[in-house]
Amino acid sequence: MDLSYSAEELAFRNEVRDWLAANLPADIRDKVVGYHGLAKADIMRWHKILAAQGWSVPHWPVETGGTGWNITQRYIYDEEFGLAGAPTLPPFGPAMCASVLHRFGTPEQKSRFLPRIREGDDFWVQGYSEPGAGSDLAALKCRADRQGDHYVVTGQKIWTTLGHYGDWIFCLVRTNPAAEKRQEGISFLLIDMATPGITVRPLILMDGGHEVNEVFFDEVKVPVENLVFEENKGWTVAKYLLGHERMGSGNVGGSKRELATLRALAQREMKNGRPLIEDVRFRDKLSRVAIELDALETTSMRFLDKMRRSGQPPGADVSMLKIRGTEIQQMITELMMMAVGPRAQPFKAVDAGSIDHFTSRLAPRYFNFRKASIYAGSNEIQRNIIAKMTLGL
């Protein structure tokens, strides 16, 4: 087993690092490291910069605009983005919808949608969860009735991340309510968000942020050619799509950067007249997180080595990266809260250059990161996957 990088891979890492240093806009980086949300204009501007470099969709096949990088190069790319404070592109278009189109799309769908996704011309969002259909996604009720050359969609989606930015939405809809098994009556549709009958309503979070939304469909007409794969076979597409969310969820590079920020906070925050970093109990907690992060990085390298040698995608045990990676992210946010105490609470009228401006974002970030162990399949579900598929329990 080889858990190190080759000379060529180290050179590639330096190439990515140098390019980010020269091309990542300072205002976008400042928003990321300062825990401020990116506007749609920020995301699309960064997407255009990456597309001009040919790096917006590194995991795609070369013939549709991918880089031809191997799995290790793609991992290094993701890690360097996290270390630099560079935002990753929202996955809904470049990673999720594109993966579905590459696997299930018609030639016409690929030629229509993939170039625009690659170049950052359209912002895609995901229409999966509904009231009463979250973890039990097969319980969804949003209807799509075939009428000639259109489907008529009526229903609701909820917790739609960045839905207010959306130009297009890919949706799971129920096309056969009478199906014997719930999963057999679901289809996968691509819907233009500018279509009449679509209403997006914000769901304001505890910190006042607007990240998620409700999306309502009131007799929305969707052309039949926007059906991906076969009618009533959307569950097959959904399962394929969800399998693409796991490998990068460890976010080692981002957690390394956040751990360095936490150490810096502990060095300047005072407790009983001394820097917090000198407090034995806090330093013990900090060391435990650092050890866990080192272990996660080693585990990630093990998966990389296995995939390099076999040429096969990871198995069900890759879920451990999602479990431990999100838990470490939550540990770091918790320790940041402990480090600054009451100043972690959000408040107005602070100097934009002061440390209080930064610390006042820590409580909202802590609460926001509670979702990390739920999205992409809750950690409880991931443990069940490992138990059944890897351990045979």
List, for residues 290-336, the tens digit of each pLDDT value: 999 999 999 888 888 887 777 766 677 888 888 999 999 999 999 99
**Distance between CA 155 and CA 85 in Å, rounded?**
38
| Catalytic residue list | 245
pLDDT value of residue 346: 75
Residue 160, pLDDT > 70, answer: yes
Tokens of 226: 């926007």
Tokens of 16: 């990515």
pLDDT value of residue 135: 74
Ramachandran angles phi, psi of 56, nearest 5°: -75, -25
Mean pLDDT comparison of 49-58, 265-274, 348-357, 359-368, highest-scoring range: 49-58
**Distance between CA 368 and CA 338 in Å, rounded?**
16
Instruction: Determine the angle formed by the axes of helices 40-53 and 107-119, rounding to 10 degrees.
Output: 100
Query: In the chain, pLDDT over 70 holds for what percent of residues?
Result: 93
Which comes out higher in pLDDT, residue 142 or 245?
142
Report helix, strand or coil for 300.
helix
Q: Which residues of 136-148 are buried (b: 16+ CB within 10 A; e: fewer)?
A: ebeebebebeeee
Which comes out higher in pLDDT, residue 340 or 319?
340
Residue 353, pLDDT > 70, answer: no
**Distance between CA 175 and CA 233 in Å, rounded?**
10
pLDDT tens digit sequence for 277-288: 999 999 999 999
pLDDT value of residue 174: 98
Q: Locate tokens 């909202």: which residue?
A: 364
Which comes out higher in pLDDT, residue 318 or 272?
272
**Would you say 29 and 84 are in contact if contact means Cβ atoms under 8 Å apart?**
yes
Question: What value does the mean pLDDT of the chain take?
Answer: 91
pTM across the whole model: 0.88
The arithmetic mean of pLDDT across residues 149-158, rounded, is 98
Residue 349, pLDDT > 50, answer: no
Report helix, strand or coil for 231.
coil
pLDDT value of residue 245: 53
Dihedral sign from CA coordinates of 56, 246, 125, 368: negative
C-alpha angle with apex 203: 198 to 205, nearest 5 degrees?
160
Ramachandran angles phi, psi of 245, nearest 5°: -95, -5
pLDDT value of residue 274: 95
* Domains in the chain, CATH or no CATH each: 7-91 (no CATH), 124-233 (2.40.110.10), 247-390 (1.20.140.10)
Residue 337, pLDDT > 50, answer: yes
Residue 143, pLDDT > 90, answer: yes
Tokens of 387: 């138990």
CB atoms within 10 A of CB 206: 10
pLDDT tens digit sequence for 187-234: 999 999 999 999 999 999 877 789 999 999 999 999 999 999 999 999
